[in-house]
Amino acid sequence: MPQFAANLTLMFTEHPFLDRFAAAAEAGFRAVEYLFPYEHSAQEVAAALNGAGLNQALFNAPAGDWAAGERGIASLPGRDEEFSAGLVTALQYAAALDCRQLHVMAGIPGADPQARTRYIKRLREAAEVAGEAGVRVLVEPINPVDMPGYFVESVRAGVELLEEIDHPNTRLQLDLYHAQITDGDLTRLIQRVAPLTAHIQIASVPQRSEPDSGELNHPYLFELLDSSGYTGWIGCEYRPAARTEDGLGWFAPYRAAQTGTAQPGFTQPGQPGQARR
């Protein structure tokens, strides 16, 4: 049965950030994710997480000047010290939150011929350092409609980059909303990239709202993931159409089955999606 993580950057925004943990638990979620926790201390976030009895599925490493339009710095020139310092900070939060997966955003490098080399070098660095702390580094393709110019612009591009990074501590963060826009053919795509995939995210397409509208058949996709051996969290990275709690009808059939545990990736023995270890 799929295990769902509420994305607290987009969901439960009716509440202050630290109160969203309790709201997610009350709604039946057993895990959370979000973009960034850094406006609060690691101790404050951990207290909210543990007080609600939740698991931390994922969050992002520092991504530069977000308000100025930066969307990660891993591919940007002249940011080596900032990148390394941000990784240290992220791993301190990961330790406090007992979080085992970290998304490192690539950034918007423009027409920089060195961006690819720089990105691969920094992701290898991140994978090595994070691996020593027991944290896996994830690469997420993001569609160019929502984020024009983002360096990892499709699942195909993300897989190629992972192959070049060639580090056992890196995996794919597969957001099915982005993947439908950039690659499509989700059934075959999921089957093809399963060995690289450690985290799944969802939202309706094209609205990016609750996964019970739009062009995707999410119950079918959940059954596909389940039958293929996916045992990780499914992050609900969508923008509720109204009040979050009022849009959770899609979640009702799954709420009672939430167990509070998940293992990243496709791990069921004998299934085509068995992940590398």
Cis amide leading into 206 (omega within 30): yes
> What sections of 69-148 are H helices per DSSP?
80-97, 115-132
Better-scored residue on pLDDT, 181 or 270: 181
Mark 145-162 as b/e (b = at least 16 C-beta within 10 Å): eebeebbbbbbebbbebb
Give yes or no for a contact between 141 and 182, defined as CB atoms under 8 angstroms apart: yes
d(CA 89, CA 3): 28
pLDDT for position 277: 25
* pLDDT tens-digit readout, 142-177: 999 999 999 999 999 999 999 999 999 999 999 999
- pLDDT over 50 (residue 272): no
Quote the pLDDT of residue 176.
98
DSSP string of 82-100, one letter each residue: HHHHHHHHHHHHHHHHT--
pLDDT at 137 over 90: yes
What is the set of active-site residues? 140, 237
10-52 per-position pLDDT tens digit: 999 999 999 999 999 999 999 999 999 999 999 999 999 999 9
More confident position, 92 or 265: 92
Which stretches does DSSP call E strand in the chain? 3-7, 31-33, 55-60, 101-103, 136-139, 170-175, 197-202, 233-236
For the chain, the average pLDDT equals: 94
269 pLDDT above the threshold of 60: no
**Cβ proximity of 12 and 34 under 8 Å:** no
C-alpha–C-alpha distance, residues 76 and 70, integer Å = 10
How far from 114 is each of 25, 48, 126, 179, 196, CA to CA, in Å? 44, 41, 18, 26, 25
CB of 260 within 8 A of CB of 24?
A: no
Query: Rounded distance, CA 109 to CA 43, Å?
Result: 34
Q: Which residues contact 190 (CB under 8 A, 6 or more apart)?
A: 174, 197, 221, 224, 225, 228, 273
Longest dimension (CA), the chain: 51
| Mean pLDDT confidence for 203-219 | 97
CB proximity list for 167: less than 8 A, separation 6 or greater: 123, 124, 127, 128, 137
Query: Would you say residue 276 has pLDDT above 80?
Result: no
Contact 4, 254 (CB under 8 A): yes
The C-alpha atoms of residue 29 and residue 24 are separated, in whole angstroms, by 6
Residue 54 reports pLDDT greater than 60: yes
- DSSP code of residue 78: T
Rounded to whole angstroms, the Cα distance separating 264 from 197 reads 8
- 173, 94, 157, 83: which is closest to 124 by C-alpha? 83
Smallest CA-to-CA distance from 102 within 68, 47, 59 is with: 59
